[in-house]
């Protein structure tokens, strides 16, 4: 057992090269111990075990600096840099996050969760080194899937002009989360097939030096390769072929399912807690659209499962020309969507809210300036979305609500989503984005609202206090109204805005008559959010306004209900606030 004595890279250097595979095997065991019990990114980490062992054998972290792209493949790195207990001992599983984090270790350079950033960040570290007159090695580790992202391609191109030490490890396991998409993957395939010797090498075409290694699980060859480029005086790409899921046969076989997931039985990969499945209103609506409108098309950017288009389902639509995965290339997806809408198609592009951050300019310039009637599904924004600071999206309203021409809808139920989706994909006037929060529920009552007329919905008509609840918070607001009624005998008004890209000024004006307080609640940052528009609207009247939303911070590892409660947004706190006012 070598691993128990490894508390940092220095301890690895004490081993013989011939002992490294054993260390790798032990590292893989530690990794499997945790992912089988606690879940996590399985495939990406299993694939880089040998690479990481060899890396730390050759390079001198933290003096030499490595940047992990997405950083979901940093578990072996964490195991080898003093954090092995978090993988070996269940009691310590929670000690580390699933991404690199400088607060955990001096061996982690950045907090990272989005793709395609590593080469840029490494270029920056390299330039910082140069300005300080130092000479450490700077390394970026990027997976093949991340190569298609604009930020990575811009950086590879600039690296081709840079003239000092920079080592770009392309970890090629021939897989994104789903299969790769883009012409460059044809070239990666040819490079793999020719031991790196084929024509039209994309990396050389970007001006970069290049080396290929066919077996990325051969620790001796990895050591040899890394030693050959250590202290190199110019940028070089090390194209290393690895196997995603290496070491677990079922994971090697089904690389998409084994990208990430929950706990499983190590023997056969069966899940510890089988997913019971559930309704997916998003998938149902998309499927119905594609099945009834042959000019309709669904686009996604490397996250087809987010829209319910899992393997086995999407192929039919791909063959019909109605489903496109552009790979990790959100900017291209959004601009393409605009073009499709301008040339007679009915496009819908959907991805997770944090990744829409990549498309701010394309949404504004390529889509909205051209008023292209396309539909965008902003998945999992707000507090009920992903809860790691690397993947939160608490400012979707700030991003999208102010872009001219864009109608930003916030359904409060699955039924509203359906009707809004129908409106968005049948109108031909404007771009429409729909805010698909993860806490949407069904009401059991179909929605027949005409969303071509943008008006707020009065869910409960009362007096004195109006509670305006954005999207998925409407059920909470209705509960609050019930409790306030029970405790104070007053029926308050509950408003579901439906759209958050503007105000229903007629309704707001009408409230002045018999209300003295408007309370707004939203599941994102309060500053620059929806509620402040209402506060400003009433700025010159006697109406009091309380805006509730999240504070400005990279909130992380939170439970949505608790985080909202801490910001005054819970049935109990809102009820107490209103009852107090009504006294």
How far apart (Å, rounded) are the C-alpha atoms in residues 467 and 293? 39
Residue 53: count other Cβ atoms within 10 Å of its Cβ. 31
Nearest alpha carbon to residue 472 among 410, 379, 528, 534: 410
* Distance in Å, CB of 277 to a copy of itself, minimum: 31
Q: Which value, in Å, is the radius of gyration of the alpha carbons in the chain?
A: 26
236 binds a copy of itself (CB under 8 A): no
Cβ proximity to a copy of itself: between 38 and 566 the closer is 566
Catalytic residue among 50, 330, 415, 525: 330
| Cβ proximity to a copy of itself, 337 vs 419, nearer residue | 337
Binding residue for a copy of itself (CB under 8 A) from 4, 268, 506, 540? 540
Residue closer to a copy of itself by CB (options 208, 424) is 208
Active site residue 429: no
Alpha-carbon distances, residue 369 vs 316, 347, 406 (angstroms): 34, 17, 9
Query: Is residue 108 at the binding interface for a copy of itself, with CB under 8 A as the rule?
Result: no
User: Alpha-carbon distance 352 to 328, whole Å?
Assistant: 12
For a copy of itself, which is the closer residue by CB, 429 or 552?
Answer: 552
Point out which span in 34-42, 83-91, 109-117, 455-463 binds a copy of itself (CB under 8 A): 109-117
Contact (CB, 8 A) for 45 and 35: yes
Strand 138-143, strand 375-379: pairing: unpaired
| Alpha-carbon span 2 to 326, nearest angstrom | 44
Q: Toward a copy of itself, which CB reaches closer, 70 or 440?
A: 70
357 binds a copy of itself (CB under 8 A): yes
User: Please, which of residues 242-261 interact with a copy of itself by CB under 8 A?
Assistant: none
Catalytic: 244?
A: yes
Contact 409, 417 (CB under 8 A): no
Helix (H, G, I), strand (E, B) or coil at 516: strand
Q: Is 344 in the site for a copy of itself (CB under 8 A)?
A: yes
Among 175, 362, 488, 575, binds a copy of itself (CB under 8 A): 362
**CA–CA–CA angle 87, 88, 90 (5° rounding):** 85
**34, 84, 129, 244: which one is catalytic?**
244
Residue 381 near residue 393 (C-beta atoms within 8 A): yes
By C-beta, is 292 or 343 nearer to a copy of itself? 343
Is residue 127 near a copy of itself by the rule CB under 8 A?
Answer: yes
Whether residue 163 has a cis bond before it, omega within 30° of 0: no
**492 and 469 Cβ atoms separated by less than 8 Å:** no
Q: Which of 28, 65, 358, 418 is catalytic?
A: 358
- 353 near a copy of itself, judged by CB under 8 A: no
Cβ atoms of 492 and 465 closer than 8 Å:
yes
**Binding flag, residue 159, a copy of itself (CB under 8 A):** yes
Give the residue, chosen from 31, 125, 474, 521, that forms a contact with a copy of itself under the rule CB under 8 A.
Answer: 125
Q: Is 330 assigned a catalytic role?
A: yes
Interaction of residue 109 with a copy of itself, rule CB under 8 A: yes
Give yes or no for residue 114 binding a copy of itself (CB under 8 A): yes
Min CB(326)–a copy of itself separation in Å: 5
- For 125, the 3-state DSSP assignment is helix
CB 278 to a copy of itself: min, Å? 30
Q: Measuring CA to CA, how many Å separate 51 from each of 23, 41, 93, 169, 444?
A: 12, 17, 23, 10, 53
Q: Does 568 bind a copy of itself (CB under 8 A)?
A: no
How many residues make contact with a copy of itself (CB under 8 A)? 121
Least distance in Å: CB of 550 to a copy of itself? 10
**The one among 14, 102, 249, 271 contacting a copy of itself by CB under 8 A:** 102
Q: Which of 149, 216, 411, 462 binds a copy of itself (CB under 8 A)?
A: 149
Pick between residue 249 and residue 404 the one whose CB is nearest to a copy of itself: 404
Does the footprint of a copy of itself cover residue 186 (CB under 8 A)? yes
Q: Which residue, 51 or 367, has its beta carbon nearer to a copy of itself?
A: 367
Residue 366 binds a copy of itself (CB under 8 A):
yes
Is position 405 an interface residue for a copy of itself (rule: CB under 8 A)?
A: yes
Q: Is 79 exposed, middle or buried (0-12, 13-18, 19+ CB in 10 A)?
A: buried
CA–CA separation, 326 and 92 (whole Å):
39
H, E, C per residue of 334-369? HHHHHHHHHCCCEEEEEEEHHHHHHHHHHHHHHHHC
Contact criterion met (CB below 8 Å) for 383 and 550: yes
Stretch that binds a copy of itself, among 20-28, 294-302, 467-475, 479-487 (CB under 8 A): 294-302
| Residue (32 or 169) nearer to a copy of itself, CB | 169
Residue 110 lies near a copy of itself (rule: CB under 8 A): yes
Of 454, 485, 535, 576, the one binding a copy of itself (CB under 8 A) is: 535
The pattern of x and - marking residues 318 through 337 that bind a copy of itself according to CB under 8 A reads ---xx-x-xx-x-xx-xxxx
Candidate residues 161, 193, 233, 291; the one interacting with a copy of itself per rule CB under 8 A: 161
Strands 457-460 and 493-496: antiparallel
Q: In what order do the strands lie in the sheet with 209-213?
A: 65-68, 138-143, 166-172, 235-241, 209-213
Residues of this chain, 8-67, that bind a copy of itself according to CB under 8 A? 65, 67
Q: Which of residues 441-500 bind a copy of itself (CB under 8 A)?
A: none
Please tell me the distance from the alpha carbon of residue 534 to that of residue 520, in angstroms, as a whole number. Answer: 8
Which span sits near a copy of itself by CB under 8 A: 3-11, 72-80, 391-399, 421-429? 391-399
The phi and psi torsions of 551 (rounded to 5 degrees) equal: -70, 160
Residue 344: left if φ>0, alpha if ψ -120 to 50, beta else—which one? Answer: left
Determine which residue in the list 82, 205, 262, 263 makes contact with a copy of itself, applying CB under 8 A: 205
Per CB under 8 A, the list member of 273, 343, 450, 513 interacting with a copy of itself is: 343
Task: Please list the active-site residues.
Answer: 244, 330, 358
């Amino acid at each position: 057992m070598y691993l128990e004595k490894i508390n940092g890279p220095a301890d690895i250097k004490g081993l013989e090269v011939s002992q490294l595979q054993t260390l790798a095997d032990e590292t893989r065991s530690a990794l499997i111990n945790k992912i089988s019990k606690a879940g996590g990114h399985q495939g990406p980490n299993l694939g880089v075990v040998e690479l990481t062992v060899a890396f730390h054998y050759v390079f001198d972290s933290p003096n030499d600096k490595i940047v992990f792209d997405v950083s979901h493949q940093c578990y072996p790195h964490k195991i080898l840099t003093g954090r092995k207990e978090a993988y070996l001992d269940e009691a310590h599983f929670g000690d580390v996050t699933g991404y690199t984090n400088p607060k955990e270790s001096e061996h982690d350079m950045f907090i990272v969760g989005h793709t395609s950033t590593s080469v840029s960040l490494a270029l920056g570290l390299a330039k910082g080194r140069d300005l300080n007159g130092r000479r450490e090695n700077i390394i970026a580790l990027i997976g093949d899937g991340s190569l298609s992202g604009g930020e990575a391609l811009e950086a590879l191109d600039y690296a081709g002009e840079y003239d000092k030490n920079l080592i770009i490890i392309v970890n090629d396991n021939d897989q994104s989360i789903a299969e790769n998409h883009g012409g460059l993957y044809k070239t990666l395939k040819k490079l793999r097939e020719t031991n790196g010797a084929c024509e039209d090498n994309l990396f050389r075409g970007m001006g970069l030096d290049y080396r290929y290694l066919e077996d990325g699980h051969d620790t001796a060859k990895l050591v040899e390769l890394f030693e050959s480029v250590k202290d190199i005086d110019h940028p070089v790409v090390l194209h290393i072929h690895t196997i995603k899921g290496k070491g677990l046969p079922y994971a090697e076989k089904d690389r998409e399912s084994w990208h990430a997931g929950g706990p499983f039985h190590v023997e056969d990969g069966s899940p510890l807690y089988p997913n019971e499945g559930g309704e997916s209103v998003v998938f149902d609506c998309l499927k119905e659209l594609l099945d009834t409108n042959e000019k309709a098309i669904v686009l996604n950017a490397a996250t087809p499962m987010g829209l319910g288009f899992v393997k086995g389902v999407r192929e039919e639509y791909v063959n019909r020309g109605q489903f496109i995965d552009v790979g990790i290339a959100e900017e291209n997806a959004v601009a393409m969507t605009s073009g499709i809408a301008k040339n007679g198609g009915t496009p819908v592009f959907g991805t997770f809210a944090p990744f829409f951050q990549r498309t701010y300019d394309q949404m504004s310039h390529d889509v909205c300036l051209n008023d292209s009637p396309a539909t965008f599904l902003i998945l999992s924004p707000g507090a009920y979305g992903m809860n790691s600071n690397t993947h939160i999206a608490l400012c979707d309203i700030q991003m999208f609500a102010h872009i001219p021409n864009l109608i930003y809808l916030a359904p409060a139920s699955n039924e509203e989503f359906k009707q809004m989706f129908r409106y968005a994909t049948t109108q031909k006037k404007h771009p429409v984005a729909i805010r698909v929060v993860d806490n949407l529920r069904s009401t059991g009552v179909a929605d027949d609202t005409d969303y071509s007329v943008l008006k707020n919905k009065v869910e409960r008509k009362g007096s004195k206090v109006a509670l305006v609840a954005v999207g998925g918070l409407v059920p909470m607001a209705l509960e609050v109204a019930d409790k306030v009624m029970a405790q104070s005998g007053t029926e308050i008004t509950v408003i579901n805005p439906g759209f958050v890209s503007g105000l229903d000024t007629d309704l707001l004006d009408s409230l002045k008559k018999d209300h003295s307080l408007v309370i707004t609640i939203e599941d994102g940052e309060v500053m620059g959010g929806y509620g402040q528009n209402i506060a400003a609207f009433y700025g010159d009247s006697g109406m009091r306004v309380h805006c509730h939303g999240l504070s400005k911070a990279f909130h992380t590892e939170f439970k949505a209900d608790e985080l909202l409660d801490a910001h005054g947004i819970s049935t109990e706190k809102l009820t107490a606030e209103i009852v107090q006012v009504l006294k």
